[in-house]
Homo-oligomer: A and B are copies of this chain.
Amino acid sequence: MGEDITAKRKDAHLDLCATGDVEPTGNSTLLECVRLVHCAMPEMAVEDVDLTTTFLGKRLRYPLLVTGMTGGTERAGAVNRDLALVAERHGLAFGVGSQRAMAEDASRTASYAVRQVAPTVALLGNIGLYQAVRLGVDGSRRLMDAIGADGLALHLNAGQELTQPEGDRDFRDGYRVVEALVRAFGDRLLVKETGCGIGPDVARRLVDLGVRNIDVSGLGGTSWVRVEQLRASGVQAELGAEFSAWGIPTAAAIATVRRSVGAEVRLVASGGIRTGLEVAKVLALGADLAGMALPLFRAQQTGGVEGAEAALGVILAGLRQALVLTGSRSCAELRQRPRVVTGELKDWLAAL
């Protein structure tokens, strides 16, 4: 695809994500099926909450990742810098969006470059699995290095591609590509979905190949199938409507993937996580980090750095509150607390 087309499409995407109906109302993370249990005697102070963790060899103050969203244009550059700055200030991890536009035109690199504002942040580059095929290991590494990233997020988005008129239709050899990348990047590679979820079978195979970081990015938040539906017409739009509820709900994905891989694999849960209480729920279900894209993007679009920081402030306060009110100093303690699973999530846990 031509370079300008990629950039134009990316801009349409940003517009839709900023104000469009990209979270179909029927969809759910199934996190509403998880109830953490109140501890009336927390025996701790809010300041005792310690959620520091390591990710990509760096220390985070909070187990949060701003998942990859954008790059390639002026506007995208501002988004990246604003959110990276926020991540730097609060000790979160940060990921840039797909670097395909940059691979096509090196002059776009600046829009992905956040090291000036975020010198110490745990930083992820980003490329699609099938772009990685074209770029090869070396091309991929160049993308990562050009922005001083600590790791590379390899994104899977077959659902989106199929709904996109100009999208990929050939998903062969995925594991072979992953294998090559994992050999080259080791612990620096993260494999992620983009809103349809990674389930236990795929996760196990990835881990067997050596992958050590997975972002399940499940159903319930930003739907890329829906985004493409909104851009499309005719058959493609009808298919988009049909499949905009397709995917593994985030709660089901993270719980079953954790069950299927060992504790040493770093798991990110993203897709529809909107509050600190929901962050706590995915940590309880087995995530090491929670990831968020849309809410921080929207906060940045309407309020810049301050807007994003305010939104994050509510999330962090809610997260600390959830920890205290379950009597958990840490993620490890949180996981030992009781929790109640209801409704459809029980069916997913029984089936997967």
Query: Taking beta carbons and an 8 Å cutoff, which residues of A are in contact with B?
Result: 35, 37-48, 156, 158-159, 162-163, 169-175, 178, 193, 196-199, 201-202, 205-206, 219, 235, 238-239, 242-243, 246-248, 275-277, 310, 313-314, 317-318, 321, 324-325, 338-344, 346-348, 351-352
Contacts and interface: CB of A to CB of B under 8 A. Distances in A.
A272 B40 CA distance: 18
Contacts of A170: 45-47
Given A39-B201, A46-B162, 4 more contacts: A37-B248, A41-B171, A43-B175, A238-B314
A175 B170 CA distance: 50
Contacts of A341: 347, 351
Closest 8 CB pairs of A and B: A45-B170, A340-B351, A42-B171, A46-B169, A40-B156, A342-B347, A41-B174, A38-B196
Contacts of A340: 347-348, 351-352
A276 B205 CA distance: 28
Contacts of A159: 38, 325
Given A318-B239, A340-B352, A351-B339, A175 B41 contact: yes
A39 B243 contact: no
Contact of A42 (B43, B158, B239): B158
A325 B141 CA distance: 29
A171 B175 CA distance: 50
A202 B318 CA distance: 22
A338 B352 contact: yes
A163 B324 CA distance: 12
Given A313-B235, A324-B158, A171 B318 contact: no
Nearest to A174: B41
Contacts of A173: 43
B246 A171 contact: no
A206 B41 CA distance: 10
Contacts of A313: 235
24 contacts: A38-B196, A39-B158, A39-B199, A39-B201, A40-B156, A40-B199, A41-B158, A41-B175, A41-B178, A41-B206, A43-B173, A45-B172, A46-B162, A47-B170, A159-B325, A162-B325, A201-B338, A235-B314, A242-B275, A242-B277, A242-B314, A242-B318, A243-B325, A343-B344
Contacts of A238: 314, 318
A38 B352 CA distance: 11
A189 to B, nearest CB: 14
A275 B199 CA distance: 24
A128 B277 CA distance: 26
Contact of A171 (B35, B44, B206): B44
A331 to B, nearest CB: 19
Contacts of A342: 344, 347
